[in-house]
Amino acid sequence: MAASTLSVMCGIVAYVGARPAKDVVLEGLRRLEYRGYDSAGIAVLDGEEVELRRKAGPLANLEELLAVSPLPSSGTGLGHTRWATHGAPTDDNAHPHLDCKNALAVIHNGVIENHATLRAQLLEAGHRFRSETDTEVVAHLLEDAFGQSGDLAQAMRDVCRMIDGSFSLVAVHRDAPGVVVGARRNSPLVVGVGDGEMFVASDVAAFISATRDALELGQDQVVCVTPSGAEVTTFDGTVVNGRRYHVDWDISAAEKGGYDYFMLKEIAEQPDAVAATLLGRLTHEGTLALDETRLDPRLLRDVDKIVVVACGSAYHAGLIAKYAIEHWAGLPCEVELASEFRYRDPILDKQSLVIAISQSGETLDTLMAVQHAKEMGARVLAICNVNGSTIPRASDAVLYTRAGPEIGVAATKSFVTQLVAVYLVALYLGQVRGTKFGDEVAEVVHELAATPEKVAQVLQTMEPVREIARQLASAPTVLFLGRHVGYPVALEGALKLKELAYMHAEGFAAGELKHGPIALIERGVPVVIVMPPPTGRAVLHSKLLANMQEVRARGAYTIVIAEEGDTAVEPYADELVRVPRVATLLQPIVSVIPLQVFASELAVARGNNVDRPRNLAKSVTVE
């Protein structure tokens, strides 16, 4: 697999050649719809101006629009399927975006961090904005830059040096017919090399039916594409050679990035998803800025209780939130199953903050809990992955996780980004309440910023975990043990096995073993143990080490997830899985990865459909 790159998930495809661009682009968008389903749009060059069609909702909405308002035939065009980050999923916010003269169209994947400053400057200069997106800033910057140089590639280079953040950009201009220009920083962009035609896309799936020959762009590079070829330069104009390669996947595999299942692809995307969720959160002054929250810090200073409501994997993220909030913010925190919340007469008032966690933003149990909390006067902060969904709209504030679309039913990258989000919320509460100083907040954020690389390290060492899973394919049960934040990780590992392998699995707080669960231990029973770091809260490590000896003495087959350098576990581990060193509170980000891989591989070994486990739906919209 190619090296991981940061990407807020959207689908990009552009074409230049002899065929009608509208047809080629639409076919590409169908293959990329899994990357963004909030809205879609296509633009083609048509003489005096750019012709544009776009529509909120799934791609089918755009196809219906094109049926009644067809685009002209043109050999140059581009299209986009959007997963919203800035601006709600509406027609006006859908890509492509145009400049003031309708002469230029641009599509974008990623986040422009300094868009607010640039937008203010452009408005002062007389530009008219028609959307809430960060992307439209680029359209107007390109308008000015092209007016100065008359060269679209040069204009793109000039603009890329002005913008901060993560992006892949593609643009066309009426005065540059037969030309498509793209650029990338920390976000994938690839060129498809055809016979008298060329493609630019965020994923080879967009063009693999036409060509398997591709050109990969490097970091901070611009490509200028014509039907006869491509020229690649750096942002400062130096000509470079892009990496040519041949794609061996077929069409169906390309949609999954070469993986057998979407879940495997989504596990591999977790370094990107974590990095995207962290992007732009720390200001130049070293303070945490959660601009989506829209909650007055003065209100947060008055909060005297936190209640987290969630279901399934999100509930496990909430359990970890409790440790972080109480440790960093010094606030009492309760964690509730959303399905039980409103039936037990919870005590809430205007000084209560309810945090609702939902990947889809449509989980009905959680939505009902949100509505109940609002009726009782509490303020609600949603942590969600889908922009503009129901739960964020019903809440007072929202923090988006930026994991990108998750096709597999079992939560993987959405869970890990929920962990990052709850850490950010806990730190932010500590910051505004004065329980954490700015340098302390910045230190933890910098530790978080190192986790994408550490997740990538874990993913590179997972083959032994897959082998363990294959060996246990016929096991009737697997038990999981953890302490502190490792306990919710144990619960999540057990849930993954239930969901995917259809087998009995239980997660326990290890200190509870002697209060009953140890009766389940007999010879050969697999027990997965999530060890805390030996430093920090050393007592946690020593106590779980004792629990490990207890189960092993009774015949358990121990599979131990432990930090690099932890030698104390070695005599008691039948199988040892190493994860990188991180702070105790942050360890779930790395320790849950082997459990995801373990569950998916065991499910495959048992012949199950990993992406579509039986009886389950991605979003639970009934109580």
CATH number, domain with residue 348: 3.40.50.10490
Whole-number pLDDT of residue 328? 96
Whole-number pLDDT of residue 620? 66
Confidence class of residue 47 from pLDDT cuts 50, 70 and 90?
confident
Residue 378 within a domain: yes
Q: Quick check: bond before 588 cis, omega within 30?
A: no
Whole-number pLDDT of residue 285? 74
Write out the two tokens for 83.
Answer: 């997963």
Whole-number pLDDT of residue 9? 61
CATH number where 53 lies: 3.60.20.10
pLDDT(64) > 80: yes
More confident: 592 or 8:
592
145-159 tens-digit pLDDT: 999 999 999 999 999
Distance CA 408, CA 265 (A): 9
Domain identity same for 363 and 445: yes
Residue 612 within a domain: no
More confident: 251 or 623:
251
- The residue-averaged pLDDT of 137-142 equals 98
Domain identity same for 310 and 228: no
- The residue-averaged pLDDT of 408-423 equals 95
pLDDT(131) > 60: yes
Confidence class of residue 253 from pLDDT cuts 50, 70 and 90?
low
Instruction: Look up 350 and say whether it is catalytic.
Output: no
Distance CA 501, CA 481 (A): 19
What is the overall mean pLDDT for the chain?
A: 91
434 torsion bin: left (phi>0), alpha (psi -120 to 50), beta (else): left
191-242 tens-digit pLDDT: 999 999 999 998 888 898 899 999 988 889 999 999 999 999 999 999 999 8
Residue 570 neighbours by CB distance under 10 Å: 10
- Give, rounded to a whole angstrom, the gap between the first and last alpha carbons of the chain: 40
Domain identity same for 144 and 193: yes
In the sheet that holds 190-193, the strands lie side by side as 49-56, 39-46, 76-82, 11-16, 198-201, 190-193, 213-216, 243-246
Supply φ then ψ for residue 353, to 5 degrees: -115, 120
Whole-number pLDDT of residue 2? 35
- The residue-averaged pLDDT of 599-618 equals 90
Whole-number pLDDT of residue 7? 43
Residue entry with tokens 């503009």: 388
Residue 390 within a domain: yes
Whole-number pLDDT of residue 186? 75
Contact 12, 109 (CB under 8 A): yes
Residue 264 within a domain: no
Domain identity same for 373 and 467: no
- The residue-averaged pLDDT of 84-88 equals 78
Domain identity same for 115 and 209: yes
Whole-number pLDDT of residue 250? 65
Contact 300, 432 (CB under 8 A): yes
pLDDT(138) > 90: yes
pLDDT(5) > 50: no
Residue 3 neighbours by CB distance under 10 Å: 6
Q: Lowest-pLDDT range, 27-36, 136-145, 486-495, 584-593?
A: 27-36
Domain identity same for 346 and 486: no
Domain identity same for 339 and 286: yes
Confidence class of residue 593 from pLDDT cuts 50, 70 and 90?
very high
More confident: 254 or 89:
89
Instruction: Look up 10 and say whether it is catalytic.
Output: yes
Whole-number pLDDT of residue 4? 35
Report CA-CA distances (Å) from 468 to 473, 474, 475, 529, 599: 9, 12, 11, 14, 11
- The residue-averaged pLDDT of 344-367 equals 92
Contacts of range 47-55, beta carbons closer than 8 Å, 24 or more positions apart? 47/174, 48/174, 49/101, 49/102, 49/103, 49/174, 50/96, 50/98, 50/102, 50/103, 50/104, 50/105, 50/172, 50/174, 52/96, 52/98, 52/102, 52/105, 54/91, 54/94, 54/95, 54/96, 55/91, 55/94
Domain identity same for 403 and 464: no
Q: Lowest-pLDDT range, 21-35, 251-265, 358-372?
A: 251-265
More confident: 295 or 468:
468
Whole-number pLDDT of residue 59? 92
Domain identity same for 345 and 485: no
- The residue-averaged pLDDT of 582-598 equals 97
Whole-number pLDDT of residue 389? 76
pLDDT(341) > 70: yes
Domain identity same for 248 and 110: yes
564-586 tens-digit pLDDT: 999 999 999 999 999 999 999 99
pLDDT(3) > 50: no
Supply φ then ψ for residue 289, to 5 degrees: -125, 110
Residue 29 within a domain: yes
18-43 tens-digit pLDDT: 999 999 999 999 888 766 678 999 99
Domain identity same for 299 and 440: yes
Quick one: what percent of the chain has pLDDT higher than 90? 74
Residue 623 within a domain: no
Residue 621 within a domain: no
Which of 374, 498, 543, 618 is an active site residue?
618
Residue finishing a domain among 423, 449, 475: 449
More confident: 100 or 409:
100
Kindly report the pTM of this predicted structure: 0.79
Query: Domain range spanning residue 157?
Result: 11-258
- The residue-averaged pLDDT of 85-113 equals 91
Domain identity same for 461 and 364: no
- The residue-averaged pLDDT of 448-477 equals 96
Contact 206, 199 (CB under 8 A): yes
- The residue-averaged pLDDT of 75-85 equals 90
How many folded domains does the chain comprise?
3
Supply φ then ψ for residue 600, to 5 degrees: -65, -40
- The residue-averaged pLDDT of 530-541 equals 86
Residue entry with tokens 């209060």: 515
- The residue-averaged pLDDT of 439-460 equals 93
pLDDT(86) > 80: no
Which of 10, 160, 333, 384 is an active site residue?
10
Residue 243 within a domain: yes
Residue finishing a domain among 258, 282, 316: 258
Whole-number pLDDT of residue 1? 33
Distance CA 143, CA 149 (A): 10
Q: CB-based burial of residue 489 (10 Å sphere; 0-12 exposed, 13-18 middle, 19+ buried)? A: buried
Whole-number pLDDT of residue 539? 87
More confident: 172 or 257:
172
